Amino acid sequence: MKGDTMRKDYINNGAADAFALGFTYNGLVYLRLTHSYNHALQYAVYDKTSKKHGRLACLRFRPTAEQKKDLVENWSVKALCTIAELDAERKHGENRGHAFERLARREFGAMPCIEREWWNGGDFMTWTTIYQAKFEGGTFCTAKQCRALRG
Protein backbone atom coordinates (compact mmCIF):
# COMPACT_ATOMS: atom_id res chain seq x y z
CA MET A 1 0.00 0.00 0.00
CA LYS A 2 1.39 3.35 -0.98
CA GLY A 3 1.38 6.56 1.05
CA ASP A 4 -1.27 8.25 -1.13
CA THR A 5 -3.70 5.38 -0.53
CA MET A 6 -3.12 5.54 3.21
CA ARG A 7 -3.66 9.32 3.16
CA LYS A 8 -7.02 8.85 1.43
CA ASP A 9 -8.02 6.08 3.86
CA TYR A 10 -7.02 8.24 6.83
CA ILE A 11 -9.07 11.18 5.55
CA ASN A 12 -12.08 9.01 4.66
CA ASN A 13 -12.14 7.05 7.95
CA GLY A 14 -10.75 9.48 10.52
CA ALA A 15 -13.07 10.44 13.38
CA ALA A 16 -11.23 13.50 14.70
CA ASP A 17 -12.52 17.00 14.12
CA ALA A 18 -9.11 18.62 14.53
CA PHE A 19 -5.43 17.98 15.14
CA ALA A 20 -3.08 19.15 17.86
CA LEU A 21 0.33 18.87 16.18
CA GLY A 22 3.44 19.07 18.33
CA PHE A 23 7.03 19.64 17.30
CA THR A 24 10.31 20.97 18.62
CA TYR A 25 12.10 23.99 17.22
CA ASN A 26 15.03 25.91 18.70
CA GLY A 27 14.67 24.26 22.10
CA LEU A 28 10.92 24.82 22.46
CA VAL A 29 7.88 22.57 22.04
CA TYR A 30 5.22 24.10 19.80
CA LEU A 31 1.54 23.34 19.34
CA ARG A 32 -0.21 23.87 16.01
CA LEU A 33 -3.97 23.40 15.79
CA THR A 34 -5.65 22.62 12.51
CA HIS A 35 -9.10 21.43 11.51
CA SER A 36 -7.78 20.23 8.14
CA TYR A 37 -6.75 16.63 7.52
CA ASN A 38 -4.87 17.82 4.43
CA HIS A 39 -2.91 20.39 6.44
CA ALA A 40 -1.97 17.80 9.08
CA LEU A 41 -0.99 15.23 6.46
CA GLN A 42 1.25 17.62 4.52
CA TYR A 43 3.80 16.88 7.27
CA ALA A 44 3.36 13.11 6.95
CA VAL A 45 6.03 10.80 5.55
CA TYR A 46 5.71 7.22 4.36
CA ASP A 47 7.68 5.08 6.82
CA LYS A 48 7.77 1.75 8.68
CA THR A 49 6.77 1.09 12.28
CA SER A 50 9.40 -0.16 14.72
CA LYS A 51 10.55 -3.76 14.77
CA LYS A 52 8.57 -4.15 18.03
CA HIS A 53 5.42 -3.17 16.10
CA GLY A 54 6.09 -5.41 13.10
CA ARG A 55 7.83 -3.04 10.64
CA LEU A 56 4.45 -2.17 9.06
CA ALA A 57 4.07 0.52 6.43
CA CYS A 58 2.76 3.69 8.06
CA LEU A 59 2.31 7.45 7.80
CA ARG A 60 4.19 9.43 10.42
CA PHE A 61 4.02 13.07 11.47
CA ARG A 62 7.56 14.16 10.67
CA PRO A 63 7.91 17.82 9.67
CA THR A 64 11.28 18.80 8.23
CA ALA A 65 13.41 21.56 9.78
CA GLU A 66 12.30 23.87 6.98
CA GLN A 67 8.61 23.08 7.61
CA LYS A 68 9.05 23.69 11.35
CA LYS A 69 10.64 27.06 10.64
CA ASP A 70 7.76 27.94 8.31
CA LEU A 71 5.19 26.91 10.94
CA VAL A 72 6.81 29.05 13.63
CA GLU A 73 7.36 32.08 11.41
CA ASN A 74 4.19 32.06 9.28
CA TRP A 75 1.43 30.14 11.04
CA SER A 76 -0.41 30.44 14.32
CA VAL A 77 1.48 28.25 16.79
CA LYS A 78 1.89 28.31 20.54
CA ALA A 79 5.09 27.60 22.44
CA LEU A 80 3.97 25.20 25.18
CA CYS A 81 7.23 24.60 27.02
CA THR A 82 10.92 23.83 26.60
CA ILE A 83 12.11 20.40 25.49
CA ALA A 84 13.51 19.87 29.01
CA GLU A 85 10.08 20.63 30.51
CA LEU A 86 8.44 18.18 28.09
CA ASP A 87 10.93 15.50 29.10
CA ALA A 88 10.28 16.25 32.78
CA GLU A 89 6.54 15.76 32.11
CA ARG A 90 7.15 12.21 30.85
CA LYS A 91 6.14 9.40 33.15
CA HIS A 92 8.23 6.22 33.48
CA GLY A 93 8.49 4.46 30.12
CA GLU A 94 6.41 7.08 28.35
CA ASN A 95 7.36 8.68 25.05
CA ARG A 96 7.28 12.41 24.27
CA GLY A 97 4.03 12.00 22.34
CA HIS A 98 2.13 10.94 25.46
CA ALA A 99 3.60 13.82 27.46
CA PHE A 100 2.74 16.28 24.65
CA GLU A 101 -0.83 14.97 24.49
CA ARG A 102 -1.23 15.55 28.23
CA LEU A 103 0.17 19.11 27.96
CA ALA A 104 -2.10 19.91 24.99
CA ARG A 105 -5.10 18.46 26.81
CA ARG A 106 -4.32 20.66 29.83
CA GLU A 107 -3.96 23.69 27.55
CA PHE A 108 -7.58 23.27 26.44
CA GLY A 109 -9.01 22.02 29.71
CA ALA A 110 -10.04 18.96 27.72
CA MET A 111 -10.74 15.39 28.76
CA PRO A 112 -9.33 12.17 27.28
CA CYS A 113 -11.44 10.28 24.77
CA ILE A 114 -12.74 6.82 25.60
CA GLU A 115 -12.42 5.62 22.01
CA ARG A 116 -8.80 6.39 21.15
CA GLU A 117 -8.38 4.69 17.78
CA TRP A 118 -8.19 7.26 15.00
CA TRP A 119 -11.19 5.77 13.17
CA ASN A 120 -13.43 5.75 16.32
CA GLY A 121 -12.45 8.84 18.24
CA GLY A 122 -9.39 10.83 19.17
CA ASP A 123 -6.94 11.52 21.95
CA PHE A 124 -8.85 14.24 23.79
CA MET A 125 -11.98 16.30 23.48
CA THR A 126 -13.51 19.60 24.45
CA TRP A 127 -17.28 20.04 24.55
CA THR A 128 -17.40 20.58 20.79
CA THR A 129 -14.24 19.12 19.25
CA ILE A 130 -12.45 15.75 19.15
CA TYR A 131 -8.69 16.16 18.72
CA GLN A 132 -6.09 13.76 17.44
CA ALA A 133 -2.73 14.68 19.02
CA LYS A 134 0.46 13.96 17.11
CA PHE A 135 3.96 14.76 18.24
CA GLU A 136 6.84 14.58 15.77
CA GLY A 137 7.53 10.97 14.88
CA GLY A 138 3.99 9.91 15.85
CA THR A 139 2.07 7.51 13.61
CA PHE A 140 -1.08 8.71 11.88
CA CYS A 141 -2.03 5.24 10.60
CA THR A 142 -0.65 1.93 9.35
CA ALA A 143 -1.37 0.11 6.10
CA LYS A 144 -2.76 -2.81 8.12
CA GLN A 145 -5.33 -0.55 9.84
CA CYS A 146 -6.35 0.98 6.51
CA ARG A 147 -6.80 -2.42 4.87
CA ALA A 148 -8.90 -3.66 7.81
CA LEU A 149 -11.18 -0.62 7.58
CA ARG A 150 -11.72 -1.24 3.88
CA GLY A 151 -12.75 -4.84 4.67
pLDDT, tens digit (0-9, with 9 covering 90-100), for 55-68:
999 999 999 999 99
pLDDT for the residue 53: 86
* Domain of residue 25, residue span: 3-150
Question: What is the arithmetic mean of pLDDT over 88-102?
Answer: 94
Rounded distance between C-alpha atoms, residue 50 and residue 33, angstroms: 27
Q: Residue 25: which residues within 8 A CB-CB, separation 6 or more?
A: 68, 69, 71, 72
pLDDT band of 100, cuts 50, 70, 90:
very high
**What are the backbone dihedrals phi and psi of residue 132, each rounded to the nearest 5 degrees, phi first?**
-105, 120
Pairing, β 130-135 against β 18-25: parallel
Nearest to 77 by CA among 67, 91, 90, 88: 67
Nearest to 78 by CA among 107, 48, 110, 58: 107
pLDDT band of 144, cuts 50, 70, 90:
very high
pLDDT band of 93, cuts 50, 70, 90:
confident
pLDDT for 76 beyond 80: yes
Rounded distance between C-alpha atoms, residue 97 and residue 138, angstroms: 7
pLDDT band of 1, cuts 50, 70, 90:
low
Number of domains forming the structure of the chain: 1
Displacement of CA 45 from its chain's centroid (Å): 12
